Amino acid sequence: MSICSVYIVILLIACLSDAGIEGRKVGVLKKHEEPSSGLAFGFTKSFNTIYDTSRYGIFQLSNALALTPQMGWNSWNFFACNVSEDLIRETADALISTGLADLGYVYVNIDDCWSAASRSSEGQLVPDPDTFPSGITALADYVHAKGLKLGIYSDAGKFTCQVRPGSLFHEVDDSQLFASWGVDYLKYDNCYNLGIDPKERYPPMRDALNATGRSIFYSLCEWGVEDPALWARGVGNSWRTTDDINDTWVSMTTIADLNNKWASYAGPGGWNDPDMLEVGNGGMTYEEYRSHFSIWALMKAPLLIGCDVRNMTAETFEIISNKEVIAVNQDSLGVQGRKVAGEDGCLQVWAGPLSGNRLVVALWNRCSKAATITAKWEDLGLESSTGVSIRDLWQHKDLKESAVTSFSAEVDSHGCHMYIFTPGMAAHSDI
């Protein structure tokens, strides 16, 4: 049985039996058929410690979604409150015409400011009549007709962050309304929360969404205030581990480090969310954006485009359309990659296991000058004598047939090289 099949079976059993949170009982390597003589494919005994997944748990949201991290687009990073049904329709069109939808970017997510300033006389949320005059149902129908999915936004508080009506204490009515409109995704924010513990505020919406009978992706945006990785895997499909990102190198790198802390808690059904992509918004260089996309993909973060896809540069499209990097993010093994060397410095090695007994390895130069970065086999959890074939995911070419002990490359300042490492024996795997 393949790794993907194993996870699907586990998740379906969890959904059908409502078994609650159940941690992984064995390490990543134990999921493979190992030779009786020892560890498979040249991995060391420390492999499972380096890529610990023991804190991952089966989620309690019965929608069978998020077997891999969500991909799509969100309005906030570029448009903020300047959203309208025309923008959403044009964005859906652009995802199709550019081919991004075919790569997996299928969620078209409306963030804050879609609703009127107050509820109706019946207590219902109402789309802003000026910017969404046709209503959300018509918009969902348009998006669905293109094979895409529509996302919407609300808040686990009295108001949203832009002071529109929140869903706190309205979870049942609002979830039923979202389902009736054909919504596929809910981003649930944390503003105006009345000081109520998020562990009390977020589960009621989970239960309400479950009760609608519609599969709606539940994205918790709690900002990492109460360390949601510790509890949100029993609540939603993803959970923000950090405050909002902004379009700067400092913000992006800081958030990457914060998200890295929670790597062992993520997996199929529930993912750590370091916030949306800033690629293409103009505040970072090409190298910095490529680093941003590489590390988000390696960390199994949601890949939610945050720029105006109707007016992308060729460089932006090149980055977000890299099929080989996207494949890392969407790999069926579902283990979040993490920092494995250079913890206290600016020359770093990040890595993570992939299906087929492969590894993704990123050499990330966060220094101010170009430098050589070395990935040592011991840091990756490989025996020093293991021969490894190496493929460069940005150059789209194979580099070495049988590298041993270590691999080095010169990386530009703020640049990131990304590779697939395939140990020699992996070619004999039946996965």
Active site residues: 189, 244
Q: Tokens standing for 100?
A: 């991004």
Nearby residues of 311 by Cβ (< 8 Å), 6 or more positions away: none
- 118 DSSP assignment: S
CB atoms within 10 A of CB 33: 10
Query: Is 191 exposed, middle or buried, given 0-12, 13-18 or 19+ CB atoms closer than 10 A?
Result: middle
Please name the amino acid found at residue 85: E
DSSP calls for 37-65: TSSGGGB-TTHHHHT--TT-B----TT--
CA 110 to chain centre: 17
- Cα–Cα dist 392/361, whole Å: 10
* Sign of the torsion angle spanned by Cα atoms 92, 97, 98, 100: positive
- H/E element, 345: none
Please, are residues 264 and 234 in contact by the beta-carbon 8 Å criterion?
no
